[in-house]
Amino acid sequence: MSSSLRIISLCPSNTELIHALGLTENLVAVDNYSDYPAPLLQNLPRLGPDLHINMERVQELKPDLVLASLSVPGMERVVSALKATGMNYVVLSPKSLDDIYRDIMTLSEATNSESIRRTAVEVVRSLKTRVDTVRQLSGNTVQESDIPRIYWEWWPNPVFSPAADNWLTEISTIAGGVNCFSNHSGSQVKDETGELVGGSRADFYLAVWTGIPQHKVPVKKMFARPYIHQLPAYLHNRVYILSEGLYCRPSQRLIDGLEQLFTLLHPNLARQHGFTLENNAPIRGPYGKDILSEDLSKSGGT
């Protein structure tokens, strides 16, 4: 069935999971934000932003399977509209690496293809091996006193940052760091005054603004907030702008993000074991108190 299966993906993470299963050629349309793998998606119809999907167009394309995800806030309305159409659909709701592994298996089972199911088993096995490698390296080598505190910034005004129940908190720990807000319940923290961020004692400030291309994140505006100047990350020039595609989407690419994060936090240890920043998406930075002005003209962020 998989060779003729017509699939529609309504968010980037699901599009990427489909690619992991080798089913990108089965996609007949995607949402406006899906951008990986770019060359294979460039000629596909676009159905609108993930929260404003053109449902009439979805029905016209007669998909065998439509994929949605509650990892996108507000997607519940789209799911309700899908349900009303009577089309076959799958809704994912990942919050952890284990959830992502399960989602890969869930999607494979939805294809009714034994070969795709076997592919999924191998994909999950490979991802787990990569995660375990980083976990063992950081766990066996990084001393507790050397574990850096990480401030992840999803959005700057008001600040949104991941909390305890989030994959970024999980990969921070695996990579040998700790999310500054890991002791806050729920999936995210909202800080309207900057008081929480200013008091976070973050050793690293990692900007992954959701939906904003890396080159468009404005460094000058990041540092225009006085409370940022209190952070050790700012004072010691450990501010980086990362690709949100590796950190804000619950797909297999999150493991690429984990390996990049490990290399960023513990470069000497990572280098000893063959990890390099060149293996992953580009990084903007470092920035901070001493190097903002000289880097700003070259970074694209103004």
The 8-class DSSP code of residue 62 comes to -
Q: Which domains does the chain have, with CATH numbers?
A: 7-123 (3.40.50.1980), 143-299 (3.40.50.1980)
Asked if residue 226 has a cis previous peptide bond (ω within 30° of 0), the answer is no
Q: Which pTM was predicted?
A: 0.93
Query: From residue 188, how far is each of 36, 129, 261 by CA, in Å?
Result: 25, 28, 20
pLDDT in tens, the chain (302 residues): 556 899 999 999 999 999 999 999 999 999 999 999 999 999 999 999 988 999 999 999 999 999 999 998 889 999 999 999 999 999 999 999 999 999 999 999 999 999 999 999 999 999 999 999 999 999 988 888 889 999 999 999 999 999 999 999 999 999 999 999 999 999 999 999 999 999 999 999 999 999 899 999 999 999 999 999 999 999 999 999 999 999 999 999 999 999 999 999 999 999 999 998 877 788 999 999 998 744 443 443 43
Alpha helices in 142-241 (DSSP H): 167-174, 195-198, 219-222, 232-235
Give me the pLDDT at residue 278, please: 77
What backbone torsions phi and psi does residue 287 show, to the nearest 5 degrees? -125, 170
Q: Which amino acid is at 255?
A: I
Q: Confirm if 42 and 64 have CB atoms less than 8 A apart.
A: no
Give me the pLDDT at residue 74, please: 87
